[in-house]
A and B are shown apart, each in its own frame.
Chain A
Amino acid sequence: MIRHIALGLAVGAIALMPVVAKAERIFVSNEKDNTVSVIDGESLEVVETIDVGRRPRAMVLGPDGNELFVAVGDDEAIDMIDLETLEVVRSQSAGEDPEVIRVDSERPYLYVSNEDDNIVSVIDYEQRTLVTEIPVGVEPEGLGISPDGKWLIATSETSSMAHIIDLEAMEAVHHRLVGARPRHVEFTHDGAEAWVSSEIGATVSILDMQDTYDIKHTIRFDVPGVPRETVQAVGVALTSDGRYGFVALGPSNRVAVIDQQTYEVLDYLLTGQRVWHLALNGDESRLYTTNGVSGDVTVIDVDGLEAIRSIPVGRFPWGVVVEP
């Protein structure tokens, strides 16, 4: 009897598998086309193009995974795309030139860097109200939120600083000088470090987020045969197993592969032109890159550490998000 039940359960589980398994979708914001391209993770083809506001750049998935928030800078707003219908269902005012956004996993808050106002806006996207404004350095851009939701780091391009914001107090409590024109912040999955990339400095500063909040290491890049000035560190993606760090190196058309433990650069992978931001997929088997000048997305096989495909999207793709 037990054997029959077990067999029935096994058959039932197998029969349900195709229903449960969901192909991943990759969303890419096209800065010059005012669209978001949707790529099917299986066929690696663009299956849908969604019209959004003007100059879409950073994107982030809502905490429940039903919505995609898109910062549309020239409309000074955040467009919210329903992931069922793939349409913009509402738009939230977000202050002057919103560029990078992050979402709070506990509270219905969106953190927005307003480049022209030198502030980080905190918006309650459910109440549609501005919660507060946190003053930071000149031209804030990169934002990173710690896994425990305690810290937010904002980078200011012109001040070349990382501002460590206590999200309870909603104020910046530490300020650290990093490489020139910091662009992006990514926390390690254990929250112990924050990786801050600097475009002009062509470095990644590793901030200790447990004790000193100081820079504990700086990663530098040197791509053989490529002019030094084309190496510009921008997007960062870190695997959750602590194995690899990936850094997009802008006009050098390379993604650097870094050992997350030793900070050693292991390889440089060729992508399309001016690689900007990165996103890992759900099981971290693939890394997707946006290539602004060539207008495509390069797919990198994480295990093999090789680029396997480049997919044309719209003009000047900027941000990329993978639906888990």
Chain B
Amino acid sequence: MSLAAYGHCLRGVVSRELLRFVHQRSRFVAALVRPLIWLFVFAAGFRMALGVAMTEPYQTYILYEVYIVPGLVGMIQLFNGMQSSLSMVYDREMGSMRVLLVSPFPRWYLLVCKLLAGTLVSIVQVYVFLVIAYLYGVKAPLMGYVLILPALVVTGFMVGALGMLLSSFVRQLENFAGIMNFVIFPMFFLSSALYPLWRIREGSYLVYQVAALNPFTYAVEMIRFAMYERFNGDATLIVVATTAVLLGLAILAYNPARGMMTRKAGAGAE
């Protein structure tokens, strides 16, 4: 198969995902409202008005709303990655996934296209959020907004691959909501998104240890450093390695027929 055909396939999957995103205005609004509530309400009420102690990559003291923004960027991508995977469960249940998978392209390629499409959607959301945060007064160096892009792509793939792996174990849409609660919230709260690791360590050593093992912590730190024109090698390495493992497992575990089979079996039993 020619490279052009691969490109055509990628364009198709991406444009479908973008179209779906554009048409679902409520999803777009919800994706923005969530982090904005955190920024305007939570960070405002808990703003640590006397400043957050100096911590890398910041060169001086910052307000809490400045600290929390990279974590909220990670949160947008985490929710979007899971939502994108949720749509796969839906596609699978509705049968449209089968249509996609009967194409002559290898399954791994189709799944990567799907991940890329989801990641692009999340990046659009992130930049809209960052513009609002900028107008609110949370400003990073201008170059940081460019350097953050590769970090967003890697993070988008990581959380998307995690969602895909989870979706492969889910039989029905209803079960997925439960998994989201058990995955998204622990991943977000047990990370450096809301507090620096040293602060978590002061509060609870056990929570600190969990947060230090949480790959989402490293995704947030990678984004945070990139936003302030710094490169965090350790965090990037951990996020890339986690992405590779999750993606490999997701491709291996993905069974497009599972939802259909369940549906058919359910229909047969009636």
Residue ranges of A at the interface with B (Cβ–Cβ < 8 Å): 223-226, 230, 251-253, 270-273, 294, 296, 298-299, 307-310
Contact = CB atoms under 8 A, between A and B. Distances in A.
B26 interface: no
A273 B60 contact: no
A28 B51 CA distance: 23
A31 B65 CA distance: 33
A270 B59 contact: no
Main secondary structure of the interface of B (DSSP, over half): loop
Contacts of A223: 49
Interface string B45-61: 00101110110000111
Contact of B61 (A224, A251, A270): A270
B47 A272 contact: no
B63 A270 contact: yes
A307 B61 CA distance: 8
A272 B60 CA distance: 8
Contacts of B50: 226, 230, 251-253, 273
* Closest 5 A/B residue pairs (Cβ): A225-B49, A310-B60, A307-B60, A309-B59, A226-B49
A102 B96 CA distance: 82
A272 B59 contact: no
A269 to B, nearest CB: 10
A251 B50 CA distance: 8
B62 A270 contact: yes
Interface in B6-65: 47, 49-51, 53-54, 59-63
B60 A253 contact: no
Given A253-B51, A310-B60, 17 more contacts: A225-B47, A226-B50, A230-B50, A252-B50, A253-B61, A270-B60, A270-B61, A270-B62, A271-B61, A272-B51, A272-B61, A298-B61, A299-B60, A308-B59, A308-B60, A309-B59, A310-B59
A253 B59 CA distance: 16
Interface in B50-101: 50-51, 53-54, 59-63
B60 A298 contact: yes
